[in-house]
Structure 1
Amino acid sequence: MESLVSFVENEFVARKEFPKFSAGDTITVYYEIKEGEKTRTQFFRGVVIQRRGSGATETFTIRKMSGTVGVERIFPINMPALQKIEINKRGKVRRARIFYFRGLTGKKARIKEVRS
């Protein structure tokens, strides 16, 4: 059964090519929003908190500060409305899921940048 599910995912799910990114990276996600008959492109820029899942069911969570309020958004990697992903900064973190980042404010909430 597992092989059948993976076969269907590999054959029939259209995969888009996005750059490699991981937790701690600051990225900008461009996605399409439909409002009635109109469509427009909106972007969401923030720090990647986690990537979870694999294959067609993979998702990633981004966190940004909107004023003094933290906003998180979960994006499926195969969402049809996803247009492109830009990597703004590569971050150096020791964990795959940086949930501790939610509790940090001010200068403590900075992530060291990896220069490459």
Structure 2
Amino acid sequence: MNAIEKINQAHVAELMAGKTMPDFAPGDTVKVFVKVKEGDKSRLQAYEGVCIARKNAGINSSFTVRKISFGEGVERVFPLYAPVVDKVEVVRRGKVRRAKLYYLRDRRGRSARITEDMAGGADAAGAADKKA
């Protein structure tokens, strides 16, 4: 590991102090709480949609969330370690076989639906191991 990677790791650890980020993958429906500053007030704004992509690049990691708002598809890219991202909640786990779900951009209605993973994905697998 070179010096830059060590610095990035230390910075990520500093940014994540006191925060917990759940394990989520493309296909999962997530709710992202973003800090919004309006004038002198600050509030949390929830953005809920399907995670269609995840880029794991150390401190530059990000994820893309897509939702349909008033009949229009809206995508938003969130930096994973940004201070404006307060927390991320996994609403439901999706069962997909691709890492990037860009094909959902061309689909509407029922064909854009993602099957729910009843096993629960990464969290359920970890919980099952702990019980055994």
| Equivalent residue number for residue 46 of structure 1 | 49
Shift of 1:53: 3.1
Contact 2:64 2:78 in 1 (8 A): yes
1:33 to 11, 33, 36: 36
Encode CA deviations 1:34-66: one digit per residue, 9 max, x unaligned.
112110110100000100132111000000000
Distance 2:11 2:28 in 1: 30
| Equivalent residue number for residue 7 of structure 2 | 8
| Equivalent residue number for residue 104 of structure 2 | 101
Distance 2:73 2:20 in 1: 29
AA in 2 matched with 1:6: E
Distance 2:22 2:10 in 1: 21
Encode CA deviations 1:90-111: one digit per residue, 9 max, x unaligned.
1011100010011110111110
Matched position secondary structure for 1:24: coil
| Greater percentage in helix | 2
Shift of 1:12: 2.7
Report sequence identity in percent: 41
Shift of 1:81: 1.4
| Equivalent residue number for residue 93 of structure 2 | 90
Distance 1:7 1:109 in 2: 41
1:66 to 59, 66, 69: 69
Q: What is the TM-score when the length of structure 1 is the normalising length? A: 0.94
| Greater percentage in strand | 1
| Equivalent residue number for residue 23 of structure 2 | 20
Runs of 4+ in 1 over 4 A off after TM superposition: none
Where does the alignment leave 5 or more consecutive residues of structure 1 unmatched?
A: none
AA in 2 matched with 1:9: N
CA RMSD, aligned part only? 1.2
Q: What is the TM-score when the length of structure 2 is the normalising length? A: 0.83
